[in-house]
Amino acid sequence: MTLHAQPKASLFINGAYVEGEGPELKVLYPYTGEVIATLREASPEQVALATKSAEAAQKAWGALRPVERGRVLARAAAIIRERGAELARLETLDTGKPIQETEVADWPSGADAIEYFAGLAATLTGESIPLGGDFVYTIREPLGVCAGIGAWNYPSQIACWKSAPALIMGNAMVFKPSEETPLGALKLAEILVEAGLPAGVFNVVQGRGAVGAALVTDPRVAKVSLTGSVPTGRKVYAAAAEGIRHVTMELGGKSPLIVFDDASLEDAVGAAILANFYSSGQICSNGTRVFVQEGIKEAFLARLAARCADVAMGDPLDPATQHGPIISAAQAAKIRAAIEAGIAEGARLVCGGPGDGAFIPPTVFAEATDAMTITREEIFGPVMTVLTFKDEDEVIARANGTNFGLAAGVFTRDLARGHRVIAQLEAGTCWINAYNLTPVEAPFGGVKQSGVGRENSRAAIEHYSQLKSVYVGLGPVESPY
Ligand SMILES: NC(=O)c1ccc[n+]([C@@H]2O[C@H](COP(=O)([O-])OP(=O)(O)OC[C@H]3O[C@@H](n4cnc5c(N)ncnc54)[C@H](O)[C@@H]3O)[C@@H](O)[C@H]2O)c1
């Protein structure tokens, strides 16, 4: 079976594939390390060309009836679903994620977002504000050219989640995928054009951080939406501030998953697995600090270790594979260093460990403290830290003892307690008796250093539009002189 995934060219500008003029970018299949495509980065001139194309195309696109924009996006969602198998395979080659995940989670979630915003299109109106005689009306306007910058863990989903609300509001977008996973965004550009999107409304440039930085500071860019780590977020937010640009920041996390002793043990263990090991643990909202109430700690760890022992690791294209490789050798080395630090600082390795080559098995630490590196820092790999607690107040304080605030989960059969605890947790995206489910209908995003703004749901529209307020005077103008 060929693993060749070379696109027609590296960039997609003004409705067509264009070859990049910058440095080479090799795309490796994480499972085997073989080169599946060789791309070129965009040159600074090509980044400017992309934003100019976007600026030119945005005017007519933004002037369409919203229902017409919705029709284009609805068609694109249908094409994504028709090509589900082909797109899932490409996503697996690009990311190394098991095909059993990419078939149900990645592009399908992207298609959901495109479909959702397509349906919302015609409902996005301003309001009329009566003032006695005079009145004010508001117009919800697009921002103009939006820049999207993606991470490598959900490359196609991220491209869809950012472009769908942007485009439906009449904006144009220039998207830069992660240099690790450049392929899916090109497919999205192709599909959008096939669905009827005018040339230039959605463009893709490739490259490492410097290309992202050039995009963020391009004078035509009005808004920047980044999915990435906190350190990158800090840089991008600062660069965007120079031009008073709007931002959405979807950043990292070290989220708490709290399991009370009245919870269904089997469900809580299942959620802890979903919260730590799906996509080989490379998920921003992962509940990597699992707080288990004292009385059930041993039973929880025993069941967790037993279920993790059954994991099927291996060839991501094999439908039976549940746990794939880590995205890159560099990321695997970082995760291994975190595992070594956990052992060196005295935590007990319950199962898993550093693994071999591209694979790191589901790894669980117990007897950890809040001060340990594995408990404080985002690892972005399949590493769970189990901590124990005595009571509600204690666990809330400890769960909040972090600068991150992306997500949080609570497991309990006492629903009053579930709501009470969630209300006190400093996190943007929360679950009670569930974890890591992110339907497009619900807002997604973080508080504290995990981010600014929300993706998905009607809330995303706020971040891709601005309100014009129009005062209408119906009476005589009263001037003081
Ligand atoms: N909150 C969310 O929705 C969410 C989702 C997925 C991943 N993440 C986070 O992303 C991180 C993992 O992804 P990653 O390693 O690709 O992140 P990263 O921060 O290294 O890179 C993210 C993107 O930013 C670009 N970039 C780097 N420097 C830049 C600069 N100076 N200016 C502009 N762009 C720049 C990169 O090329 C890449 O496309 C984790 O921290 C994870 O938690 C967050």
Residues 240 and 294 in one domain: no
Residue 450: per-residue pLDDT: 98
CA-angle at 75, arms to 73 and 152, nearest 5°: 60
Residues 265 and 353 in one domain: yes
Distances (CA, A) of 473 to 110, 130, 133, 140, 407: 45, 11, 8, 21, 47
Q: Where are the beta strands (DSSP E) in 29-115?
A: 35-40
Residue 123: per-residue pLDDT: 96
Residue 3: per-residue pLDDT: 82
Is residue 475 in some structural domain? no
Residues 310 and 377 in one domain: yes
> Tokens representing 406?
């992306």
Any ligand 1 atom below 6 A from CB of 159: no
Amino acid symbol at 310: D
Atom of ligand 1 lying closest to residue 230 CA: 41
Residues 134 and 231 in one domain: yes
> Tokens representing 127?
């309001």
Residues 197 and 63 in one domain: yes
Torsions phi, psi for 213 (to 5 deg): -65, -40
pTM equals 0.98
Dist CA 248 CA 460 (whole Å): 9
Identify the CA nearest to 154 among candidates 26, 33, 282.
282
Is residue 441 in some structural domain? no
Residues 157 and 204 in one domain: yes
- Are 364 and 386 within 8 A, CB to CB? yes
388 CA to centre of ligand 1 in angstroms: 31
Residue 2: per-residue pLDDT: 66
Report the CATH number that the domain containing residue 54 is assigned in CATH. Answer: 3.40.605.10
Dist CA 43 CA 214 (whole Å): 10
Q: How many secondary structure helices (H) and strands (E) does the chain include? A: 16, 20
Residues 269 and 403 in one domain: yes
Give the three-state DSSP class for 57: helix
Is residue 3 in some structural domain? no
Atom of ligand 1 lying closest to residue 232 CA: 19
Catalytic residues, by residue number, are 250
What's CA 478's distance to the chain center, in Å?
53
Q: Which domain holds residue 421?
A: 256-432
Our count of domains for the chain comes to 2
| 3-class secondary structure per residue, 362-382 | CEEEECCCCCCHHHHCCCCCC
Residues 428 and 280 in one domain: yes
Any ligand 1 atom below 6 A from CB of 250: yes
Is residue 351 in some structural domain? yes
Within 8 A by CB and 6+ apart from 465, the residues are 124, 140, 141, 142, 143, 169
Residues 294 and 322 in one domain: yes
150 CA to centre of ligand 1 in angstroms: 6
Dist CA 277 CA 179 (whole Å): 23
212 CA to centre of ligand 1 in angstroms: 10
Is residue 478 in some structural domain? no
**Model-level ipTM above the cut of 0.85:** yes
Residues 166 and 273 in one domain: no
Q: Along the 481 residues of the chain, how does pLDDT read in single tens digits?
A: 568 899 999 999 999 999 999 999 999 999 999 999 999 999 999 999 999 999 999 999 999 999 999 999 999 999 999 999 999 999 999 999 999 999 999 999 999 999 999 999 999 999 999 999 999 999 999 999 999 999 999 999 999 999 999 999 999 999 999 999 999 999 999 999 999 999 999 999 999 999 999 999 999 999 999 999 999 999 999 999 999 999 999 999 999 999 999 999 999 999 999 999 999 999 999 999 999 999 999 999 999 999 999 999 999 999 999 999 999 999 999 999 999 999 999 999 999 999 999 999 999 999 999 999 999 999 999 999 999 999 999 999 999 999 999 999 999 999 999 999 999 999 999 999 999 999 999 999 999 999 999 999 999 999 999 999 999 999 999 999 9
Is residue 241 in some structural domain? yes
Residues 261 and 374 in one domain: yes
Residue 4: per-residue pLDDT: 87
Residues 204 and 275 in one domain: no
Residue 373: per-residue pLDDT: 97
Is residue 481 in some structural domain? no
Dist CA 450 CA 132 (whole Å): 44
Report the CATH number that the domain containing residue 395 is assigned in CATH. Answer: 3.40.309.10
Atom of ligand 1 lying closest to residue 208 CA: 37
Is residue 442 in some structural domain? no
